[in-house]
Amino acid sequence: MGVERSDLVPPSEHAAAGESLARARAHLLGLQSPDGWWKGDLETNVTMDAEDLMLRTFLGNLSPEDAAASARWIRSQQREDGTWANFYGGPGDLSTTVESYVALRIAGDTPSEPHMALAARFVRERGGIESSRVFTRIWLALFGLWSWDELPAMPPEIVLLPPRVPLGIYDFGCWARQTVVALTIVAAYRPSRPIGFTVDELFTGAHPSRPRPSLRNWRGRFALLDRVLHGYERLASRALVRATIREAALAVAERWVVRRQEADGGWGGIQPPWVYSIIALHLRGYAIDHPVLARSFEGLEQFTIRRGDTRMLEACQSPVWDTALATIALSDAGVAPDDERLVRAAGWLLGEEVRVRGDWSVRRPGVPTGGWAFEFANDNYPDVDDTAEVVMALRRVALPDPSRAESAVVRGVEWVEGMVSSGGAWGAFDADNRREILYDLPFSDFGAVIDPPSADVTAHAVEMLADERTADPERIRRAVAWLRDEQEPDGAWYGRWGVNYVYGTGAVVPALVAAGTDPEDVAVRRAVSFLESHQNDDGGWGEDIRSYDDPTLRGEGVSTASQTAWALLALVSAGEAASDASRRGVDFLVSTQRDDGNWDEPWYTGTGFPGDFYINYGLYRLCFPVTALGRWLRAVRPGGEAPEVASALPHAPDTGERPSGPAGTRDDGAGSDGRRGPARRRRDPGSPEAGR
């Protein structure tokens, strides 16, 4: 039963929440770039740094200063047991530990040092290098520390397959697609450059386990195919085959990679395809000072965060996402639609609209261009999630030229509607990208490789479309039906891009209500029950990342500011703002807030690949609490008015920190070195099918 009566919430609670919101709002405003955008640091795990050291060692352009600074960062993240984890508080991970160990060997650490001996012992106890992931062993093969013969075949001829042929490159999710195409070039050359040391101490002598060839299931069939492809690799080394089929495939793959380089020098705005594309093009004869590679390294420098004497590489950057979330949060916090800070943010977002055709058009050739990407520069891969949030953010701002915003919004809505999958829901980057047999390929052990529809992305699309008069009601109806079918037996929704059931539930409930679902509907009531039953004793909500693998951890974990805010967003939408659960959640945010208005949140609440790769977004701990407190106050104050706010809000106290360009050094999760703004968008990257 919804609890909306404002008289159930004492004025003292209004006041405490209002003061907390004012501090958080001021802090968030103080982090805005002069150009209008926000970007928090994006922290993942040290494989980014380890692979950067290995990349530069392979290419011969690793400076002693960078090696030492990166090594200091990697050492600082080592756990007491000698291991490295993939997320804060997580268990030691075998592959991450192997890569970190090799990187420290490159930096000069010796096997006899205590921290290295501990790491080596863990690796051996976990099955040695032989049990590490395929991609880890590919890195080792680059230096002759592993045999290419003992790796799955990845023939570049895959790029010659027509787009709709099963197991072609467009069956992969965009992040995996770019990675795989580049790696097929690397695997074709099978390079091996001596590194000056061995890692015999990381081996157990056991042979890596492999699926048995069989025709009974896809894993067995692919194992049989892998044997055939290894035979073909031997054939492809012969002059005639190499000069015809193999060279044609390599040339097509090379063009495919080059034409997808973005304006910032990277590929897809993410580390994996970026580093493998550099290696692939280098093997194709591109010198380090070639404009393509020179630009790629300039871009990597902008993903580098230097803190003191350490050096850390971001796996990705999230300025569009962060700016949309910050704009919505400040609007919910009472900042006026015509406030110059929001106007600047909206103006910057309009400049980031993608107006070129990317890989998404292979499956949706008739859909007009539009939408927004996650990063400063990623024209080839706009996504539904960012587009939905940007449209909702633009609707909160009174721009001097409303027609410009209206045109962009209409294009964004049309693009999102065109990207719907056949079942009525949305994936992030592609439509109908869900060929699950790809997980049975021998090299598919690095995380998610497809982009099927998810509840959280679909919820954001529904929430956006529900407020758009031009949106197709039938699309909304089908998406709502899909979301209802996806609800878990305990009332929650799975979170694909955030941890986990708290994130999914926090996204879906507001979307259902926005689309016209009665808060008393059984689906909403079940979601409320899930959240209430998983509230922690301190009033907050938290969920351990391991809930992706262990169902007993659903909705269970240390309370965090971002996850508490997600739960509150759902409860407020469900008419539960004045409930005991909501009030305790608000009290948690108020009582755990720092004096500067932010919250501490070392826990990772963002998801890259469920079960494999996680993210600590630097601004989640701030944007979502601001949104939640603003909506809660609006719901419980007599008359429902928004928190009072002057048209010219004060900024946070000047601490000497400044918002950054694509990387920064602030310790509260937001960048601060101010080196540059976003790269200029490239307007004509070519057809996504060019060069095939």
Block means of pLDDT (10 residues each) for the chain, 692 residues, are 62 92 97 97 96 97 96 97 96 97 98 98 97 96 96 92 89 94 95 95 85 73 72 69 81 97 94 96 97 96 94 96 98 96 98 96 96 95 98 96 95 98 97 89 82 97 96 96 98 97 98 97 98 98 96 96 98 96 98 97 96 95 98 82 46 39 43 41 40 35
The pLDDT value recorded for residue 215 is: 74
Read off φ and ψ for residue 52, nearest 5 degrees.
Answer: -65, -40
Distance in angstroms (rounded) separating the CA atoms of residues 582 and 579: 5
259: how many CB neighbours lie within 10 A of its CB?
15
Query: Are 47-312 and 315-434+454-464 equal in CATH topology?
Result: yes
DSSP 270: B
Q: What is the dihedral of CA 18, 23, 27, 28, to 10 degrees?
A: -10
The pLDDT value recorded for residue 673 is: 37
CATH number for the segment(s) 1-30+487-643: 1.50.10.20
Tokens of 195: 């590194």
Read off φ and ψ for residue 279, nearest 5 degrees.
Answer: -65, -45
Active-site annotation holds for 385: yes
Distance in angstroms (rounded) separating the CA atoms of residues 576 and 626: 18
User: Could you tell me the CA-to-CA distances from 416 to 367, 425, 627 in Å, in that order?
Assistant: 9, 11, 24
The pLDDT value recorded for residue 2 is: 56
Q: Which long-range contacts (CB under 8 A, 24 or more apart) does 370-374 make?
A: 370/408, 370/411, 370/412, 370/413, 370/414, 370/415, 371/411, 371/412, 371/415, 371/416, 372/320, 372/324, 372/412, 373/269, 373/320, 374/269, 374/316, 374/318, 374/320, 374/321
Distance in angstroms (rounded) separating the CA atoms of residues 401 and 403: 6
The pLDDT value recorded for residue 221 is: 75
With 0.85 as the threshold, say if the pTM is over it. yes
The pLDDT value recorded for residue 667 is: 40
DSSP 296: H
Residue 657 CB contacts under 8 Å (≥ 6 apart), including other chains: 30, 666, 670, 672
- Could you write out the DSSP letters of every residue in 495-525? -SSBSSHHHHHHHHHHHHHHTT--TTSHHHH
- The CATH number fitting domain 47-312, selected from 3.30.450.20, 1.10.620.20, 1.10.260.40, 1.50.10.20: 1.50.10.20
- Provide the b/e sequence for 531-540 (b: ≥16 CB within 10 Å): bbebbbebbb
Distance in angstroms (rounded) separating the CA atoms of residues 593 and 582: 17
Whether 152 and 209 have beta carbons less than 8 Å apart is answered as: no
The residue behind tokens 């107006």 is 355
User: Could you tell me the CA-to-CA distances from 309 to 74, 113, 212, 638, 665 in Å, in that order?
Assistant: 12, 21, 49, 53, 11
Fill in the amino acid letter for 541: W
The pLDDT value recorded for residue 444 is: 77
Domain segments of the chain as ranges: 1-30+487-643, 47-312, 315-434+454-464
CATH number for the segment(s) 315-434+454-464: 1.50.10.20
Half-sphere exposure of 433 (CA within 13 A, CB side): 29
420: how many CB neighbours lie within 10 A of its CB?
25
The pLDDT value recorded for residue 311 is: 96
Distance in angstroms (rounded) separating the CA atoms of residues 672 and 684: 32
Tokens of 268: 């897809």
User: Of the residues 66, 332, 385, 456, which is catalytic?
Assistant: 385
Distance in angstroms (rounded) separating the CA atoms of residues 226 and 228: 5
285: how many CB neighbours lie within 10 A of its CB?
8
Q: What is the SS3 string spanning 110-148?
A: CCCCHHHHHHHHHHHHCCCHHHCCHHHHHHHHCCCCCCH
The pLDDT value recorded for residue 6 is: 53
